[in-house]
Structures are given as C-alpha cells and as structure tokens.
Chains A and B, each alone.
Chain A
C-alpha cells in the first residue's frame, strides 16, 4: 500500500497575527506547528501501512523552508519519504494552484491512497484535498472518522461525519481521504524517529521538475486574490452583571430583550 500524505506547517493557535500597514499582507509570530488535522492524516497512513505490512508512506508539502519542519515531523512519526515542492514561482498562490502542483507531483508517484487533513488552520478552507483529487481524477471523501482498507479487493470503506450523523461509503482505490477529529490519536514521534528525521533527506521539486509553466502556479495562476486584510470588528466591552443571583438573572433577561434584542 503506497500512501501519500499532504501536510502543511501552520501558525500555532496562540501565534500573534499582525497586519502590515498597507493591509496587503499579515505578519505571523514565529510559532508554527504541523496542522492538527494533518497529524491525524499522517497517523492513519502509518497505521494502514503497518496493518497491510508493506508499502511506503510519502509525506509531501508545498511551501518554503518552513514546510520542512512539517515534513520532518512526518518522518519522525514514521514516514518513509519526504517531498517539498519549492519554487519562488509558487509564491502568492491559492488553493487551486497549490492543489495543481501537489497533484502534478503525486501523478509521478505510485499511490493507492492520498490522505490530508480536513482543513488547514490558517485558511480554514478545506478545498485543497478535493481539488487534488479532481486534478488526479480520483474520488475523494472528506471529514472521515474511520477507515477500513481491504488490500485484496483494492477498496476502502470509510465513515464520514455529517451534520447530526454519519455516512458509510465504499470506493475502489485510489481515493483521497480527508481526516477529521475522532479518526485516531496521533502518535508522539519517538526519539529515534526525531533523530532519523533530522538526518532525513528532503526531496525537493521545483517548477521545472514538475513540468508546470510559471503561469499555472503562484500568483500568476491563482484564481482567488486577496484584496485586503483587516481586523475583525471589535466586540463592545463586556457588561458585567453583579448582585444576588435572582436579580442578576432578571437583569440579564431584560438586557437580552430590550438592549440586545436577542430574545
């Protein structure tokens, strides 16, 4: 079973995000981590490889030097290979161009399964996974909480989370699956894995290696353009209600009715 895992290095929840003066970009405090949902994807890939007893797990990311950290985390957990798509031409891209480049790289690999996280913390989009599947011409299943692979039948049965319930879906391989919380508990990389990851070779692929043209990637190929960033509107400061509980509760109901018009 050959499995490719898409990963992204994203700012930590606690990281400060500042706007540049002209609002054209943001500056993020240097606190990064492997995207939480990607760690679930990584874990599931490793478990499937262990269960099947053969194959290879390749972890792949598009980005700059920072993404190497996400790849090394993947290797530390147990991935066999790490690939970084890196080229100045990729800068300023969107989900479309990211997926295009990732799919182009995966096309050249042998793969049965592609895993990714439900969404990335920074853009909360969740579009890259389905787009990669579209560009690869394979089916995809998102927000997955359970995976059962039958290697002999070359098929997979998965459970995905829907509003208020679950869906069970069967599909032949290859397929792209996006991981949702509840799928598994990601392992903490063992010390020996961390040592291995520090020395691991990161294979780098640039624009030429992928065989894409400069106008298909980065800002030139992007469909979505950020016009401006800004701070969300600030909530007015809190009104603290004080006193005996019955009085406070009466006051709250009155405020919700008259001031907030929320009930």
Chain B
C-alpha cells in the first residue's frame, strides 16, 4: 500500500474546488490514523500554481499537466488515473460527489475491480482500518454504513460541505511529482467540442454554504429578485423547486430536489414552498433550515429549525434589510 490516501483535486476557474480542500482535510486525518501519506491528484493545463498550493495540504502532488487535459475528457482522465492507481495501489481514493467525479470514478472502480461509495455523508475508520462510508438510501429515508472489503482502492465520493475546509499550515511542504501524459489514442473516443459555462458570481448549489430556495409561493419569475437580494447579503446561492422549474420560471440547473440537485448547506432558506417529499430528499441534510410560508400546515415546517408563518413578500425584504444591518456591523 505504498500509495496511501489519495484525494482528487478538482478545480474550476483557476481555483481548487472547496470540496477537494474539504477532502484533503479529511484525507489527512485518515492518513495520519493509518500511518500513510496523503497525495493530491491534479489534472489540467498550466496548473503549476495549483500544484504549489496543494503542497500546503498534501505530502505528494501527482500533477498531470498538458493542453490535452484542459477540458475534462473521461477517456483521457480514466487512463492516466487508473494507470497510476494500478501501479501505486492507494488504500483510499477520495473525490467530491461532483458531476465530473460521478462520471469518472465509477469507471475507475471498474478498472481497478473495486467498489465505490457514491454521495457519502461521512467517512470513518473501522477497527480493522477499513474505511466505513455513510450513505443515504431511498432519498435519505434511511442511511447505511458501507465498506469495501474486497478490492483496492476503497473509493468514496463525498457530498460537498460534509467536512470543514482545513487551514493550510505553511509548514507542510509536499513534493510535486510531474506525471507523463501518455494515453492510448485508440481508447480516446470522446471528443469534447464545447463547454458553455456562464460566468457565475455565485457558487453552484451543490457547494453553496447558504441557499435561498423559492417555491410556487413566489408567484412569478420576476419575484425571484427578492431572493437574489437576500442571497446577495448572505453570499448565498438561489435555488428553486420542481414546480418553479416545471413552470419555466427558472432553469433546471437551479432545481433542488430528487430530480434536481442534492444540497447540504450550513443554512437553508425554504421560502414559499410547501415541502414536497421530492424536495425534502434534496435538502434534508442541510444543517439549519428556515421556512417561511403563509400556510401553517405546510409540511416544510416539519423539516425546519425555525418557521415563520406569514407573507413572504412582506417578510423577505424585512429579513434582507435586517441581515444587512446585522452583517454590516462586522
């Protein structure tokens, strides 16, 4: 087990994604308990700066740097990552439960003949040094602890906001190991033609620490401006329910719920939404939930920590100005 604990260092717009940092923190904890090294895996083009940043967290940084890797291509990433994993047999391989990792890692698991735990809520070590991953089943109605006894590496993809971001202590200086980017061209069948990504001022829902979600009670797309203003003062991301998306008020990308995005923020505002089960399944691991609804019987109140029965059109603007006052004091 020379390979230790590996963390996939996903990055976007020139920054390591928050979930990757969270896992470097957790990965360090697991590595220390197991007496293993912590390694970060970095794929990209012109990413020397990011590699250096990762040395603050990891003992080793495996860096694949090539124009070929500028855009994610499963066929390419799969070969490079699995080839090294076969050679080094890391005991544990971690990544965020992101779109990219959910596309890549099942296939890595297949190639390494090992298991994979997707969408984990926690990780710990069992008595036999086996990694135990906590996972939701049936949309979070039950949780289960799963482990991979057969096969190496033990692979887990973890939901963002599950672990705290570690502090980069200046003294850990890892080693950057540049890897050759050699792929079998006959195994590269996918061709990424285009990536369209609007410049976003806000974090993606899956990574956001604060989310303000509006439901049908918003009455129309124009009223989401109220939520945008509330989100602005909290550094939050705005979400929508299925009803809102199906009405065409918001794109599917904004949908929180079973058929949309699963979120796990520190603070979740559920505004003008009733709390349909499919919505609850997408947000019930939020740490603190505030519900605002004019119907006192709305089921969202059963899942909330704080509830306000009232007219959102009166309450939300008041809340925004109160928060501005409060946060402005700091």
Contacts and interface: CB of A to CB of B under 8 A. Distances in A.
Interface of A: 11, 13-15, 17, 19, 26, 28, 36-37, 94-96, 99, 121-131, 133-135, 138-143, 145, 157, 161-172, 175, 181-182, 222-232, 235-236, 238-242, 245-246, 248-250, 252-253, 255-257, 260, 262-263
25 contacts: A13-B281, A96-B116, A124-B136, A126-B102, A128-B106, A130-B107, A134-B106, A139-B190, A141-B103, A157-B193, A163-B207, A165-B195, A168-B194, A170-B193, A181-B259, A224-B115, A224-B148, A225-B146, A230-B143, A238-B305, A239-B307, A240-B301, A241-B308, A255-B306, A260-B288
Interface string B181-213: 000000001111111111010001011000000
B309 A130 contact: no
A224 to B, nearest CB: 4
B291 to A, nearest CB: 8
B219 interface: no
A26 B143 CA distance: 10
Interface in B218-256: 234, 252-253, 255
A228 B34 CA distance: 23
A238 B118 CA distance: 31
Contacts of B252: 145, 161, 181-182
Contacts of B136: 124, 232
Given A231-B143, A249-B315, A121 B138 contact: yes
Contact of B192 (A26, A167, A236): A167
A238 B293 CA distance: 14
Interface string B156-194: 000000000000000000000000000000000111111
A126 B135 CA distance: 13
Given A126-B106, A163-B206, A238-B302, A245 B142 contact: no
What are the 7 closest A-B residue pairs judged by CB atoms, nearest first? Answer: A223-B115, A165-B197, A134-B110, A127-B106, A130-B106, A224-B115, A163-B204
Contacts of B106: 95, 126-131, 134
Contacts of A11: 138
B308 A229 contact: no
Contacts of B306: 238-241, 252, 255-256, 260
B46 interface: no
A7 B195 CA distance: 30
A121 B258 CA distance: 8
Contact of B266 (A124, A141, A232, A262): A262
Interface in B283-330: 284-285, 287-291, 301-311, 314-315, 318-319, 322-323, 326-327
B111 to A, nearest CB: 6
Given A13-B277, A163-B98, A262-B266, A224 B116 contact: yes
B147 interface: yes
A130 B103 contact: yes
Given A165-B197, A253-B319, A226 B144 contact: yes
Nearest to A172: B189
Nearest to A162: B99
Contacts of A145: 252
Contact of A96 (B75, B109, B204, B301): B109
A252 B290 CA distance: 9
Given A13-B281, A235-B305, A236-B305, A227 B74 contact: no
Contacts of B12: 163
A236 B138 CA distance: 22
A231 B136 CA distance: 10
A165 B119 CA distance: 21
Contacts of A138: 189
A28 B74 CA distance: 36
Contacts of B217: none
Nearest to B318: A249
Contacts of B113: 223
